[in-house]
Amino acid sequence: MALKTLEIEFIDIPGVNIPVRPEVAYTGKNLFETQLYAQDNGFVDLDSPESNIIAYFVRPETPKAEWVKQQAEKFKVKRGTVENAYANLHDDIWKKYWIRTGEILAWPPYSKRIVNSELNRKSKKPILLRGYEVLEKSKGDYVIKGGKVIEVDWPKENVTIPKNLLELLNAKDDTYIWTNPNPEFYEGLRALAWHFRLRGGPDLVSVWYPWDSYSGVGSLLGRSADRGFIRVPKARYRELIKFGDKISSLNEEWQKLVSELHE
């Protein structure tokens, strides 16, 4: 689904360091498709901390007058245009859609499609991946390259969010987490999706996998920094992936040798 035509393409949200699209975008697409879209079009698929900031900033029906004035002056548009953008984002988040964020949750043993020299494949902890790049080897076959690896004590049962995740996700303490730690289910890879509209508090679903797509689920996108992604032909993709697999294999051998030296 294409992005809607907006009167104003970006707005500033206090606490988010890049301009934000005033909509829930690219609904009905899976996480990998969304990441590729973002990479190809100068966007960032925002993670949970930013998504929570945005959601609660636009929770009131009416924006603060001072913020509207500041945005109108900065982007050289009418105040009504800013108010309409705010209303659109408010309705999308609080009335229409689930928000799937950019992170990937991975349960050990970690999927081989993760190519990351920082990943300790001997670890028994689940990890969050942020800031990674997606490569498509062939139609529907993806590689997760690079990014920040964060070891995390993710719940193995459905529970109210534990304290260790509050700061990491910038979440409210009444968030309820739905989880599936089965490593055999879709390679142990999970997407994170937020449902903010529940009266009892938001739901965070970590049951769906990155290949999942639903018409009522979309993403919050920000404008990327002045960094261009290079379009690479598929043949070149395959070479890069083989090289990445080789690096990953060498890293595993190195960790094995280091472990043997300490025995």
What are the pLDDT digits (tens) for 126-148? 999 999 999 999 988 999 999 99
pLDDT for 2: 43
Predicted confidence (pLDDT) at residue 157 exceeds the cutoff of 80: yes
pLDDT for 232: 43
pLDDT tier at 35, thresholds 50, 70, 90: very high
Which of residues 192 and 250 earns the better pLDDT score?
Answer: 192
Q: What's the rounded mean pLDDT across residues 165-170?
A: 97
Helix axes 65-75, 79-91, angle to 10 degrees: 120
- pLDDT, tens digit, 9 for 90 and up, residues 212-240: 999 999 999 999 975 433 344 445 445 55
User: Is this prediction's pTM over 0.85?
Assistant: no
Helix (H, G, I), strand (E, B) or coil at 23: coil
pLDDT for 229: 37
DSSP 8-state class, residue 93: I
Q: What's the rounded mean pLDDT across residues 21-45?
A: 97
